[in-house]
Amino acid sequence: MRPIDATPLTRDGNVLILAYDHGLEHGPVDFAGRPESADPESVFRAATHDAVTSLAVQKGVGEAYYPSYEDDVTLLAKLNGTSNMWMGEPDSSVNCSVEYAATQLEADAVGFTIYPGSNNEVEMVEEFREIQEEAREYDMPVVLWSYPRGQGLKNDTSEDVIAYAARLGLELGADVTKVKYPGSKEGMAHAVEMAGKTKVVMSGGSKRSDEAFLQSVRAVMDAGGAGLAVGRNVWQREQPDQILDALERVIHDGQSVDAALQ
């Protein structure tokens, strides 16, 4: 098994995944504020920025657009997803196999969502077992979107819940676990500690001001996190390159938010 730091998913140990699976997860509403973002081409172009260590997309987008970007973008194939039209208990359909991702999409890594706390948790974790073991055979890093969600969960971003979500990544064999921000640097530090050798990255969330967004990224890095998996806070902006420049300074160069914004 290749150490995660020896894969293109990281740059000097840090991670910046550009997430673009929203067309499936949220639908066209996410593209409304910046219509160009509906065109995957514009996001593939953004993903060629040096700060980005991989682009996460669903199978269909990967099939249609990745062939033109194979030399410039590291592809992370998201293997499951659910539309916002699904009204049942949180669940996510597997729509691509590891074998297909490796041999047909030419992906470098795979990603998978689980919703711990959902009544479908057992099946989702069993599906994750299959993809995690198969990914090991292909020597592909595995990124877990660990999003506690379900009837019994009242606050899915509390510090305890996020620490538990991060811990699940270690227990289940993820190389990187993506969690929501627990609201403070201390909360993130607890999650990072619980994740042991599994890297923890923050999920970007809905679009915020440059400063508020970068402050949360700085807090993640100061808490020992490995970086970010972000979608809307990059490609909903008019100039994705500008925020990627700032993210490069905070995540990869260790700079302050003020320095990054200048």
Residue 197 bears catalytic tag: no
Kindly state whether residue 231 participates in binding ligand FBP, applying the rule CB under 6 A.
yes
Which of 173, 183, 205, 224 lies at the binding interface for ligand FBP (CB under 6 A)?
205
Which of 116, 148, 204, 225 lies at the binding interface for ligand FBP (CB under 6 A)?
204
Residue 227 pairs in a beta bridge with: 15, 201
Largest CA distance in the chain: 48
The nearer residue to ligand FBP, 55 or 140, going by C-beta atoms, is 55
The answer to whether residues 128 and 172 touch, using CB atoms and an 8 Å cutoff, is yes
Q: Going by DSSP bridges, is the β-strand pair 80-81/93-94 parallel, antiparallel, or unpaired?
A: antiparallel
Residue 253 amino acid letter = D
The answer to whether residues 135 and 141 touch, using CB atoms and an 8 Å cutoff, is yes
The answer to whether residues 228 and 257 touch, using CB atoms and an 8 Å cutoff, is no
CB of 22 to ligand FBP, least distance (A): 5
Nearest-angstrom CA–CA distance, 23 and 29: 8
Kindly state whether residue 232 participates in binding ligand FBP, applying the rule CB under 6 A.
yes
**Residues 121 to 160 in contact with ligand FBP, rule: CB under 6 A:** 145, 147
The nearer residue to ligand FBP, 238 or 259, going by C-beta atoms, is 238
Which of 4, 15, 21, 51 lies at the binding interface for ligand FBP (CB under 6 A)?
21
CB of 121 to ligand FBP, least distance (A): 15
Catalytic residue among 59, 78, 178, 180: 178
Kindly state whether residue 117 participates in binding ligand FBP, applying the rule CB under 6 A.
no
| Count of Cβ atoms closer than 10 Å to residue 151 Cβ | 10
The nearer residue to ligand FBP, 16 or 139, going by C-beta atoms, is 16
The answer to whether residues 20 and 61 touch, using CB atoms and an 8 Å cutoff, is yes
- Residues that are catalytic: 178
